[in-house]
Amino acid sequence: MEDGHENRRQPRLSVLRTPSQSREGSGVHLDPELPRRDPVVSPILGPGEPNPDQQAQAENLSADNVRAFLAHLESERGNGIRARNHRLAMLHTFFANAGGQEPIVLPEAERVAAIPRKRAQPAATYYLERDEVERLFDKLPRSGKLAIRDKALLMFLYNTGARATEVTGLIVDQLVLTSSPRVNLHGKGDKWRTCPLWPETARLLGEMLRNRRHPAATESPVFLSNVGKPLTRFGLYKLVRRHGSNIRIGNGQRSISPHVWRHTTAVHLLESGVDVNVIRGWLGHVSLDTTNRYAEISIRMKQEALEACQGLASSSVGPPRKPVWQSEPKLLEWLADL
């Protein structure tokens, strides 16, 4: 098993052939096992059709070629900044490996390492309004062997704002469904956090576990696929998208993902007056800055602030009133004597 794993990784880790491994006996060569259109091969060999057997001379392994390739991605292939940065990260790794194998490549490897990432605008944060959440749950199937599972899963996502990996990795031992129902989530950075569960969420999870063909052991996954296997991230995304497609979201062009549920939880907690530090702990954010962005996207809170300002403006009739201190003669006299 380990040998097979090493064979799969070998083309990526050892993309250069040393002179002793090369048929020609000299020069730097690309590993012929690399795919013909490998994203690392193309910028190194320059323009033209990639050819894994082509000799990669030192002048081809240049930072100028990398810059030209990155510009090509954005201008001609229409790739965004994130795709560009992803390719650059791959090239950083490639050249670091190349410089370690061939000292002649080391100066160019250092120049490539100095090519910076571009700053990308944060992606738009989508979330569901409360009426959209209600319509989605109203459209869920009410019968069938998977009806309880689907409703329990979506309710769990809405309740906890858990990440996809936290949901698919959840086991029965992490749930407390008796008094003070809660869940212990294993999040990023090997950190644990506890989230309270609504009584309805706990009821649905308990019913789902009791309806299983075999009693759920403490180490059993909480959520299973249609065939009784542990639910994967792909299966989770597919399930969430399928139920989200039953309602019109926003302009009808947006799809729902598990992360949209996470955003929804954060915004609804904020709108309910929950302190931002509590939300940070609820979602497992390391930095408070990550949580603060939800204060920028809540349309309802912005509308309420706007209505409050309009109320103040509409109540003032005629010219603006003087400040209170200017309407008090005695106070003006006292100020003049200072």
Averaged pLDDT for residues 26-48: 54
pLDDT (tens digit, 9 = 90+) per residue, 65-102?
Answer: 889 989 988 998 888 898 999 999 999 998 888 888 88
Identify the pLDDT of residue 4. Answer: 44
Domain with CATH 1.10.443.10 in the chain: 130-297
Q: What is the pTM of this model?
A: 0.63
Identify the pLDDT of residue 286. Answer: 82
> With helix as H, strand as E and coil as C, how does the chain read?
CHHHHHHHHHHHHCCEECCCCCCCCCCCEECCCCCCCCCCHHHHHCCCCCCCCCECCCCCCCHHHHHHHHHHHHHCCCCCHHHHHHHHHHHHHHHHHHHHHCHHHHHHHHHHHCCCCCCCCCCCCCCCCHHHHHHHHHCCCCCCCCHHHHHHHHHHHHHHCCCHHHHHCCEHHHEECCCCCEEEEECHHHCEEEEECCHHHHHHHHHHHHCCCCCCCCCCECCECCCCCECCHHHHHHHHHHHHCCCCCCCCCCCCCHHHHHHHHHHHHHHCCCCHHHHHHHHCCCCHHHHHCHHHHCHHHHHHHHHHHHHHHHHCCCCCCCCHHHHCHHHHHHHHCC
Identify the pLDDT of residue 160. Answer: 95
Identify the pLDDT of residue 325. Answer: 53
The yes-or-no verdict on residue 263 having pLDDT over 50 is: yes
Proportion of the chain above pLDDT 70, given as a percent = 67
pLDDT (tens digit, 9 = 90+) per residue, 175-221?
Answer: 999 889 999 999 988 899 999 999 999 999 999 999 888 888 889 99
Identify the pLDDT of residue 162. Answer: 95
CATH of 130-297 given 1.10.443.10, 3.40.50.620, 2.40.420.20, 3.40.50.1000: 1.10.443.10
pLDDT (tens digit, 9 = 90+) per residue, 214-253?
Answer: 888 889 999 999 999 999 999 999 999 999 887 766 555 5
| Residues annotated as part of the active site | 163, 188, 259, 262
